[in-house]
Chain A
């Protein structure tokens, strides 16, 4: 009995197509990825159902880290940096700190301001990679009596006079409330009644009123 001969087929598969797909996906991910800039002040933000994307221009951001230290930064654009320079100059003048133009240029380049106003000169002397939340004590605002955020907010309001300023507060999950309260007090004192808080997006719980509104298409 002769068995029917089964033709041996090669098990090798043509990999070209798969290779094409793999590299197509790869280029997609490479192009869409946006590396998180290494943050000098690590802050893990809480989640909320807010669905508005945080603005990126004309930003004055106040970071509140886990230890309750407060840092001030601006957006990345040149315009924002110029505003920062204006703020620094007005602070310099008001407190007669005697900062040289080089100091101001250094602080303008710095990722954030994180020292009491009296020590700005020392921060200007540091190099950018020496500035992080471990080395710098933050802007004093724990104390209602000596809340330097008031002065910084006044400078910011002055720098953005007549223009839109996006005031953003980026707080850490475990930061304590009193510092947050003092920051809000500084906003209020300078007549900034609207601000946003940076949060991570979170799904709206099913069955809640907001969920029903969203489903029925009723925009709030």
Chain B
């Protein structure tokens, strides 16, 4: 690769008696420099963070509004999603049956189909009630809120979990029949 001394050859003859000055080539081998250049490029490509963090907005309801002024949701049309520990998701439609027969286990992959099928059904005013239990993580809450924006569910609310539901989750999880 080295390219030294290519022009210093003696093929162009000067006149007789003219002393041939030894000409050194001005060409430098750039290969190591290119190597270094690409090494640094690789370093910067890997360390650079192109994607800026995004912000997900959330508007909270005003609790001070008198109960009679608040929007009532029709229990029958609502889909209630409960978040348990270990990424378990549970849901039921309408009101929780006393024998918990409509209480179903799911997971984050399957809940999307459930939301979509509920949205597509004749009931146009889908309201989703999200009830995170104390065992679930911040990621679970963000994921389920994200599901709402993915499926363009306009009306959803985050509500505190009730004791009955909490017990039900614990029992289901204890029995090992929860989603993965």
Instruction: Report which A residues bind B (CB closer than 8 A).
Output: 10-12, 15-16, 18-19, 22-23, 25-26, 29-30, 32-36, 45-55, 64, 168, 171-178, 180-181, 184, 187-188, 191, 193-202, 204-205, 208-211, 213, 220
Contact = CB atoms under 8 A, between A and B. Distances in A.
- Size category of the B interface is 35 or more
Nearest to A32: B48
B44 A26 contact: yes
Contact of B150 (A15, A195, A208): A208
Contact of A197 (B55, B134, B137, B149): B55
Chain A CB within 10 A, most for which of B3, B34, B49, B63: B34
Contacts of A23: 37
B132 interface: yes
Given A22-B41, A198-B55, 5 more contacts: A26-B37, A26-B40, A168-B55, A180-B141, A196-B58
The 5 closest A-B pairs by CB, nearest first: A22-B37, A15-B30, A29-B44, A196-B55, A50-B56
Given A15-B31, A19-B33, A177-B133, A48 B49 contact: no
A197 B30 contact: no
B55 A50 contact: yes
A172 B139 CA distance: 7
Contacts of B59: 193-194
Nearest to B134: A178
B55 A19 contact: no
A212 B56 CA distance: 20
B138 A171 contact: yes
B54 A188 contact: no
Interface in B109-159: 112, 116, 119, 132-143, 145-146, 149-152
Contacts of A196: 55-58
Nearest to B140: A177
A23 B119 CA distance: 54
27 contacts: A18-B34, A22-B34, A22-B38, A23-B37, A48-B54, A48-B143, A50-B57, A52-B54, A53-B55, A173-B139, A174-B138, A174-B139, A177-B83, A177-B134, A177-B136, A180-B141, A188-B60, A191-B62, A195-B60, A197-B55, A198-B54, A199-B142, A200-B51, A205-B150, A208-B112, A208-B150, A220-B152
Contacts of A32: 48
